[in-house]
Amino acid sequence: MIMKNMRVLLALVSVALLSGCAGSNFKRPEPQSLMVGSSTTADVTRVMGNPLQTGELLKNEEKVKITRYAYAEGAGSGRYPGVVPARAMVFSTFNDKLVGQEFVSSFPEDATEFDETKVQQIVKGKSTRDEVVALLGKPNGEAIYPLIKSKTEAGVIYSYSHAKGNVFNMKFYSKVLTVSFDAKNVVTDVVYESSGEK
């Protein structure tokens, strides 16, 4: 899911650099306003308004619908020097139920940066959800099946991305961590990916 976010953000950043801004600025919804496992596609539109883009992806052999919101500023300052400030939010639905939501930002005020050097401290079968949050902070996304493998588990997402440079020479960086938990909130799976240079 995050890599699809990256392509949308990259395109937005390019437009922002040429025109000053791109996409529609949006507010991240309150934590209880959209609930994974119970909210619907209509609920997402009611809370967020019309999306920038919709699409589909195949995950664990199931077709998931994607609704994306994104915004970028060409004239602002990002989380790090030279970073173009941008944010995106992606909602995933399966059988018209929300199965995932993820917020990514490189704006200083709500950046979703996390310390990837701590990922190795998360131990499958031992670490708990509370320990993961204590280690990395509050996650910026959550997911259930089919975005994660098991139908009986739940996952949290930590993700961050940014773009540096100009429209002719842009460098992109992204990282995402997905941690799955069983019914007792014990870690069952840890998946970390990164690309580009910070």
- In the chain, the percentage of residues whose pLDDT exceeds 70 is 86
Characterize 106-125 residue by residue with b for buried, 16 or more Cβ atoms within 10 angstroms of its Cβ, and e for exposed: bbeeebbbbebeebeebeee
- pTM, 2 dp: 0.87
Arithmetic mean of pLDDT, 139-162:
94
**How many residues are given for the chain?**
198
**Summary mean pLDDT of the chain:** 86
**Helix or strand or coil: residue 193?**
strand
Choice between 134 and 26, residue whose per-residue pLDDT is larger: 134
pLDDT score at 145: 96
pLDDT score at 34: 96
Cα Rg, the chain, nearest whole Å: 16
Predicted confidence band of residue 162 (pLDDT cuts 50, 70, 90): confident
Contact assessment for residue 144 and residue 181, using Cβ atoms and an 8 Å cutoff: no
For the cut 80, the answer to whether the pLDDT of residue 21 exceeds it is no
The number of C-alpha atoms within 13 Å of 132 and in the hemisphere containing its C-beta is 28
Domain containing 81: what range?
2-195
CA distance 142 to 193: 16
Choice between 31 and 76, residue whose per-residue pLDDT is larger: 31
Arithmetic mean of pLDDT, 14-39:
75
Looking at the structure of the chain, the number of domains it has is: 1
Give the amino acid at 66.
I
> Tokens 């009611």 identify what position?
46
